[in-house]
Structure 1
């Protein structure tokens, strides 16, 4: 199902400098500086992911000259800890926008939720002729009670949201295809240990902030550097595989690939992703990542908007 982006909107927390604030998060600020980030965004106390998502959605609707009643489906991708357990944040976003009766869907595949959300929008259009216009909202707001935004997964977590109004048959910024690959062996990587039903309360003297996810990853590979390096190479290989598969499904190949928008990851990771698909790093989101920080599921569409605004 072909659909295009009619308009987008964004919302960010307050911009902060990495060099000026890293000391509040980690004992070795220089190590964080080596990741290549200059700034990131942090929401003010009391501002929620729902607030960010709704603000981005309102801007997207205004830019599309639409009201919420014009939307046939709302899809929300949320990539960090939800505000509450047993709670549907897509319905909360819809309520904040004043929707009533509009179907909502929540995607929680962390940083990959953006792609799943767009796929769901396309699938809904394919299944129902009544679904013409979809609002996709992607949000990340790091919970500093659960994770250290500068010491969790090799990136600096950042708070922001992006919304896109998608319309069936819209000729601009079209979604042509997608491809996914899941290796379930790594399902436990970067999980938050405590607070879920398996371990609702941490043992005495422990907390999520004390649990280093990298320790669990190294333990998975029996602390064998060779096995860990093989894992890193596998990631690069999978990036190339899914890019090639998506291009093939769209009737394209790598010679026609103009730009790669990866996660707003650290500079080394983005360079490795660029190398995997044969593009120079200048044709990626590397410079935007330095400024924006890693906004989880919102990274790709935020960067797409910025690249377009910059004439790229």
Structure 2
């Protein structure tokens, strides 16, 4: 989707304190072999801070930095990958009550780890269709510190971190432009995140722990041993290349114009695959060094990186950030952000507006 008419006027984040992998190894939660294999350093752990509260804190920061008032918002999209609170309760209502107010369409997306990319695409359509409200607030948050998931073993090559992120998408010029955003699907790989688990009754209701790493391993084993899914694995690689090419083309740039790359916060291999193999640029341009300190924070990874890069001055006017993510389904997303100016909050001590 070409989005040259869409801007980013504010971003915000909430990242709790971190637990080091050394402490996790000492406690028997993580393997020393995995420390060596994946190179992760620490993971953000929120304790008993609820995900909706983290989302609210990030949203307050993003909205304040945008200069927008809640009455100028036409949409609130709340993105999550894990449970948010009492079953049947909508977490977006918490942010709406405490920040945005009732004059905004608010809803939740459960698109997985690339849910914020889907939120961007939906928000673009909404803002173009309803021009009376010039901005949309997108938030994401997760707290994985619950009994039915082990953050240290939940995902292949990753540790699940807790965080909240937020972004204000704007129809009027902001500090950055959303140059493009796009998503492709490989639905024949939908088993990757449920392999060998029945659809009913839902596992969470029977107390089955969530283990995407085991599902992924079983899916790939079947693909290789039984020979019924090898083509799907090839297709995933092809669609990854396709969506990155599409995002770059719609943004009007080439791979060599990319200043930084924000992938999901997993092992170094993913960053190297995207940067060095696909884009032919140094992996040092990725945000992996930052990501390895906070863990894979659900749908927030790339947007936490964007906020940090701008706040620290690592992205400046004229720079381009390529963002990339996978989600269950399987869906693969990419987006390009062009920084237009250094915002006031990035030039202020503490990073506040």
Would you say same fold, with TM above 0.5? Answer: yes
Distance 1:108 1:149, change over 3 A: same
**Aligned equivalent of 1:13, options 16, 26, 32:** 16
Offset at 1:259? Answer: 2.4
2:166 corresponds to: 163
Q: Aligned runs of 1:24-173 on 2, under 5 Å?
A: 24=27, 26=29, 28-45=31-48, 47-97=49-99, 99-154=101-156, 155-173=158-176
SS at match of 1:208: coil
Measured at CA, do residues 189 and 92 of structure 1 come closer, stay the same or move farther in structure 2, by a change above 3 Å? Answer: farther
Q: Within 5 Å, which residues of 2 pair with 1:170-181?
A: 170-181=173-184
- What's the offset of the Cα at 1:197? 4.7
Per the alignment, residue 262 of structure 2 pairs with: 261
In the superposition, the TM-score normalised over structure 2's length comes to 0.78
Partner of 1:239: 240
The answer to whether the 8 Å contact 2:141/2:299 transfers is yes
What is the CA–CA distance in structure 1 between the aligned matches of 2:288 and 2:18, rounded to whole Å?
A: 18
- Name the CA distance, whole Å, in 2 between partners of 1:118 and 1:306: 19
1:127-160: CA deviations, max 9, x gaps? Answer: 1111301111122322432221111222111000
The two structures have a TM-score, normalised by structure 1, of: 0.87
Give the Cα–Cα distance (whole angstroms) in 1 for the partners of residues 210 and 203 of structure 2. Answer: 15
Cα distance, 1:284 vs structure 2: 1.0
Instruction: Name which of 186, 189, 194 aligns with 2:192.
Output: 189
Change (3 A) 1:77 1:25: farther
Query: How many residue pairs end up in the alignment?
Result: 307
Contact 1:54 1:97 in 2 (8 A): yes
Q: Gaps (5+ residues) in structure 1?
A: none
Structure 1: distance between partners of 2:295 and 2:65 = 25
Relative distance call for 1:85 and 1:306 in structure 2 (3 A) is same
- Aligned-residue offset at 1:33: 4.4
1:51 match: secondary structure: helix
Instruction: Look up the SS of the partner of 1:294 in the other structure.
Output: coil
Identify unmatched segments of 5+ residues in structure 2.
Answer: 315-353
Q: Structure 1 residues 298 and 194, CA, compared in 2 at 3 Å: closer, same or farther?
A: farther
Deviation at 1:215, TM superposition (A): 4.5
- RMSD between superposed Cα atoms in Å: 2.8
Shift of 1:191: 4.2
